Structure 1
Amino acid sequence: MAQAQNVSFPIDTRFGPRTAEVYCQRRGSGEPLVLLHGIGHHLHAWDPVVDILAAEREVIAIDLPGFGRSPALPEGSPYDLPGTATVLCSLFDALGLDRPHVVGNSLGGLLALQLGHEKLVRSVTALSPAGFWTEAERRYAFTVLRGLRVGALTLPPRAVDRIARSSAGRAALSGAIYARPGRRSSEAVIAETRAMREATGFESVLGAGRSVLFMHDVSEVPVTIAWGSRDRVLLRRQGVRAKRVIPGARLVRLPGCGHVPMNDDPALVARVILDTSR
């Protein structure tokens, strides 16, 4: 059973020391494995793979600051890549984690690679990580994300509940990020739409991402970059660019998977993660 907790910890901001708070769930035992979701999502994106991972690892799934149940960062704390990596490092200290394995999807994949570059983790698994786009590809991805955000803000909750009850409705609500949205439960899709609607960090993170281009090698830790063959947000050719930037990384194709592959093929994604952390 998962142990849920709100973790408060000190961080430095432009206005001096402040306190940040992050919600997380822990389960399993073994070497620590931290899971980082994408923009507008929440820790439950990992639900399809958590039990498989927890059979071998202590799994810590977190709601990134400004998403899910985690409040936004204190005023004066930036959402840029180095700043967020520093916040996560402080969170690891608060949780008593010494260089955990880290897995991230999309925004979370980009953050995981930054943590790897700074040698703060034992291994990195990045699933469709952001930051390897051309400017045109970035604008396209941001248009898709803004569309999801507008839809979540515009649709009344009762309408979302009704739409999510059918397979076609779940496809309409979440087909941009899943290759097989019909596999997601109606309750999960409703919760994801609510998480997107209530994401206080969405605009700040998206704004910080406009200038992001990941150009750092990640050496001295094992790195796997995995891309869904049916990713409609960050196109799979970006994985080839990621391999050029990080030549020591293992590049893995996830057949039939979309941008959030954990739901589309849980067994395959869990195997990729565990292989890297071993």
Structure 2
Amino acid sequence: MRLLNKLFFFVASPCIKILSKVYCAVVFTVLSWVSPNWLSWNKYSESMLRSLEKRILSIVKTPHKGFFVDIGPVVGPADKIWTISLNTESPKTPLVLLHGLGAGVALWCLNLDAFAATRPVYAIDLLGFGRSSRPKFSLHSQKAEQQFVQSVEEWRKELKLKEFILVGHSMGGFLAASYAISHPDQVKHLVLADPWGFPEQTGEFKEIPLWIKTITYIMKPFNPLAGIRVAGPLGPWFINRIRPDISKKYAVALDDHNLITEYIYQCNCQYPSGEGAFHSMMSDFGWAKNPMVRRIDRLREDVPITLLYGSRSWIDHSASDIIKDKRMNSFIKIHVVTGAGHHVYADKPEAFNQIILDACSLTNSNVNSNLAIESAPRDHAETDEPESDSKQ
């Protein structure tokens, strides 16, 4: 039976590719007939995105401010990165937060107070996401990656930050590791939260049904979040239908359960700049064309790593063993947060915050590269559940 499945998939693959391209062309042609102005179909509003971000961040008690940082012609002619900062008067090493695919600064709302209680905190909308500029990235995977890295470095220079603790979630973890390899002098501690793009792509999906493989092939020409834009004004409803758990993660802190889905919609119904770059960097959704495990040994030995995963995340955790093997003379601490999925910072914010604060404490105590590797026990064991501008 498996042999027949493989044979069918081998024969059907070329046809599926052709049909997917035709389907893509038809969909966007129809959309152009329905709405000559693409943005009028996708109800993006800069003022709405600003308002939603402000309402979500209103739960953050620490005074904070938001501002654009002009980084110059990194990708486009005049790129700007939207930034929020907290407790910038503290003399301690700053903490810099890089979000994942399709996210933005407001999604750190459950974490910012805990972090800012001890040190300066900066969270940015990565170039091509959220409120930052939306330039056209290179279609070459390694070039697009380096454009992201250079945008973070130019941002650092503009803010005159000498060094910082760098936290990246998912795609942000992949970019954080790439940045640390290129600019080790600036990274005092690298924290990777359920990072995307680290392991090599597996050769075969042994247990995945044929129909799922077929759908994956059909969707391959699209950017990952194209469905949100195709849905147009129904985008927030579409997000709620495919990921009803997203709003629930913030339900305790936010009275209006629609704020998060509306925010995600406004972040992603714009021109898919950073999303397009992600598409260039990925080899199928779950893997990178240039996996980080191939080059993590290029990271300077004295840069400590804290690696954390959600126990129920779809991200492949196997890269942690490879990282340990390739960095035997470096400090690495690994956490698995029980009950958390991929969005560990929102699924289990208290556990996540404590792990980050512990990493900061290690940085304060000048942890050196010769410390033993540690695999931390699972944090905060709990019953697993299904994952389905300024304030002063």
Fold agreement, TM-score > 0.5: yes
Partner of 1:192: 264
TM-score (norm 2): 0.60
Cα distance in 2 for residues equivalent to 1:189 and 1:274? 28
Three-state SS of the structure 1 residue aligned to 2:72 is strand
Change beyond 3 A, Cα 1:95–1:235 = same
Which has the greater radius of gyration? Answer: 2
In the alignment, is the contact (CA less than 8 A) between 1:174 and 1:189 conserved in 2?
no
The residue type equivalent to 2:230 in the other structure is T
Query: Following TM superposition, by how much is the alpha carbon of 1:3 offset from its aligned partner in structure 2, in angstroms?
Result: 0.7
Partner of 1:134: 200
Residue correspondences, number:
262
In the alignment, is the contact (CA less than 8 A) between 1:229 and 1:255 conserved in 2?
yes
Partner of 1:182: 248
The residue type equivalent to 2:260 in the other structure is A
Partner of 2:68: 6
In the alignment, is the contact (CA less than 8 A) between 2:100 and 2:171 conserved in 1?
yes
Is 1:257 the equivalent of 2:340? yes
Partner of 2:296: 216
Q: Which moved more, 1:195-204 or 1:78-87?
A: 78-87
Query: Following TM superposition, by how much is the alpha carbon of 1:62 offset from its aligned partner in structure 2, in angstroms?
Result: 0.1
The residue type equivalent to 1:204 in the other structure is A
Partner of 1:173: 243
Partner of 2:84: 25
Partner of 2:21: none
Cα distance in 1 for residues equivalent to 2:233 and 2:319? 35
Query: Following TM superposition, by how much is the alpha carbon of 1:204 offset from its aligned partner in structure 2, in angstroms?
Result: 2.0
Cα distance in 1 for residues equivalent to 2:179 and 2:274? 20
Deviation per CA, 1:43-98: give whole Å up to 9, x if none: 22211101111111211000000000001246779753333222211110101211
Identical-pair percentage: 22
Is 1:270 the equivalent of 2:353? yes
Query: Following TM superposition, by how much is the alpha carbon of 1:148 offset from its aligned partner in structure 2, in angstroms?
Result: 5.8
The residue type equivalent to 2:281 in the other structure is A
Partner of 2:286: none
**1:66-81 matched pairs, under 5 angstroms:** 66-73=128-135, 80-81=144-145
Cα distance in 1 for residues equivalent to 2:319 and 2:138? 32
Change beyond 3 A, Cα 1:174–1:7 = farther
In the alignment, is the contact (CA less than 8 A) between 1:227 and 1:239 conserved in 2?
no
Deviation per CA, 1:88-137: give whole Å up to 9, x if none: 11110101211111100011111211222231211111101122223249
TM-score (norm 1): 0.82
Three-state SS of the structure 1 residue aligned to 2:111 is helix
Partner of 1:111: 175
Structure with a larger share of its residues in strand: 1
Cα distance in 1 for residues equivalent to 2:103 and 2:150? 21
In the alignment, is the contact (CA less than 8 A) between 1:33 and 1:103 conserved in 2?
yes
In the alignment, is the contact (CA less than 8 A) between 1:18 and 1:74 conserved in 2?
no
From 84, 99, 102, the equivalent of 1:40 is 102
Aligned residues: CA RMSD: 3.0
Cα distance in 2 for residues equivalent to 1:100 and 1:187? 31
The residue type equivalent to 1:107 in the other structure is M
The residue type equivalent to 1:254 in the other structure is V
Query: Following TM superposition, by how much is the alpha carbon of 1:252 offset from its aligned partner in structure 2, in angstroms?
Result: 1.0
Partner of 2:312: 230
Partner of 1:57: 119
Cα distance in 2 for residues equivalent to 1:42 and 1:157? 20
Deviation per CA, 1:194-245: give whole Å up to 9, x if none: 323324221122203342211222321221011111112x233343334334
Deviation per CA, 1:130-159: give whole Å up to 9, x if none: 22223249999xx59968613312334356
Change beyond 3 A, Cα 1:67–1:95 = same
Q: Which moved more, 1:71-80 or 1:95-104?
A: 71-80
The residue type equivalent to 1:19 in the other structure is A
Cα distance in 2 for residues equivalent to 1:267 and 1:37? 18
